[in-house]
Amino acid sequence: MENVMEKRVKKERSKPSQKPRILLVEDDPNLSYVIREYLEMLNFETTSCSDGEAGLQAYYRGKYNMIILDVMMPKKDGFSVAEDIRKTDDATPIIFLTAKTLKEDRIRGFQAGCDDYITKPFSTEELSLRINAILKRCMNNRKPQSENNQKLYELGIYKLDVENLTLTSKNSKQMVTRKEAALLKLLCLYKNKLLPRETALNKVWGSDDYFFGRSMDVFMTKLRKHLRLDPRICITNIHGSGFKLEVKDAKPQKV
């Protein structure tokens, strides 16, 4: 018969892991080993892959609290992996690790959907501080808000369902990402008024960092494409200030 201690151990092992899960995709085996050992020492459950394709498949198979991507990898580079992930998931935070230090590379990284960009060489302490800051911000963003709990918004011919991430019209139904829905909801709340850039960045991205601003510009372009079938809807960029969602009234139909 099993003793009490054996039963307790089995019970603990059967419980799902409560550790934050990180997917690490890095092709340098030595660096990957060091980072993984350090993250596990910090009580993160870490899955590591050595190329972009393997990393993308690991992402599809599992559920992670964060993804850390090298940029230059065999089979599929980190930018491409992030872009594939962001097609359906803009909630899981992504950090790029890379030796690329040019401003253009950083901009490309944020356009691909990353939450942070760390250049090599870096200290493990810096990495842990950035990870914890991002995870804390994500948890704060997921807390229920006491204001603006409205889930459905009408916008010309469209109806935005924030909870189910859909944008529907009479003849179409589009899926939108969580960030797209949050940004479009803000625009609806500020309809025909100026939505300041800082307000949008802080509410949707949790920071008004310059590179997040470039990412937001990409999302605005995507929203314009989603809304292109209704010519009465216009998202205007007010240079240096923010954005304005304008919805013109429908013209009265002839009897």
Domain match, 131 and 99 both = yes
pLDDT on residue 4? 45
Task: Look at residue 72 and tell me if it is in a domain.
Answer: yes
Domain match, 64 and 159 both = no
Write phi, then psi, for 46 (nearest 5 degrees): -120, 130
Domain count for the chain, please give it.
2
Domain match, 75 and 54 both = yes
pLDDT at residue 2 is higher than 80: no
> Which residues, including other chains, have CB under 8 Å from residue 191's CB and lie 6 or more apart?
245, 246, 247
- Pairwise CA distance, residues 249 & 6, whole Å: 71
Report which residue type is found at 77.
D
Task: Look at residue 118 and tell me if it is in a domain.
Answer: yes
Domain match, 113 and 217 both = no
Closest CA to 42 of 69, 21, 26, 13: 21
Closest CA to 195 of 180, 209, 183: 183
Q: Determine the distance from the C-alpha atom of residue 142 to the mean position of all C-alpha atoms in its chain, rounded to a whole number.
A: 12
Domain match, 22 and 128 both = yes
Domain match, 228 and 127 both = no
Domain match, 138 and 156 both = no
Domain boundary among 87, 108, 142: 142
Closest CA to 192 of 252, 226, 238: 238
pLDDT at residue 152 is higher than 80: yes
* Average pLDDT estimate for 66-86: 90
Domain match, 37 and 101 both = yes
Domain match, 132 and 170 both = no
- Residue 76's domain comprises 18-142
CATH code at 133?
A: 3.40.50.2300
Domain match, 135 and 199 both = no
Domain boundary among 142, 176, 201: 142
Task: Look at residue 13 and tell me if it is in a domain.
Answer: no
pLDDT on residue 160? 93
pLDDT greater at residue 144 or residue 229: 229
Task: Look at residue 4 and tell me if it is in a domain.
Answer: no
pLDDT on residue 62? 86
**45-49 and 116-119: which strand pairing?**
unpaired
pLDDT of 37-66, one tens digit each?
999 999 999 999 999 999 999 998 888 999
**242-247 and 194-196: which strand pairing?**
antiparallel
- Pairwise CA distance, residues 74 & 53, whole Å: 8
Task: Look at residue 10 and tell me if it is in a domain.
Answer: no
* Average pLDDT estimate for 142-149: 50
Full 3-state SS string of 137-178 = HHHHHHCCCCCCCCCEEEECCEEEECCCCEEECCCCEEECCH
pLDDT on residue 101? 72
User: In angstroms, what CA-CA distances link 75 with 28, 54, 148, 228?
Assistant: 14, 9, 44, 36
pLDDT at residue 97 is higher than 50: yes
pLDDT at residue 200 is higher than 50: yes
- Pairwise CA distance, residues 247 & 183, whole Å: 16
pLDDT of 216-234, one tens digit each?
888 899 999 999 999 999 9
Task: Look at residue 11 and tell me if it is in a domain.
Answer: no
Domain boundary among 142, 175, 192: 142
CATH code at 209?
A: 1.10.10.10
pLDDT greater at residue 92 or residue 23: 23
pLDDT greater at residue 34 or residue 140: 34
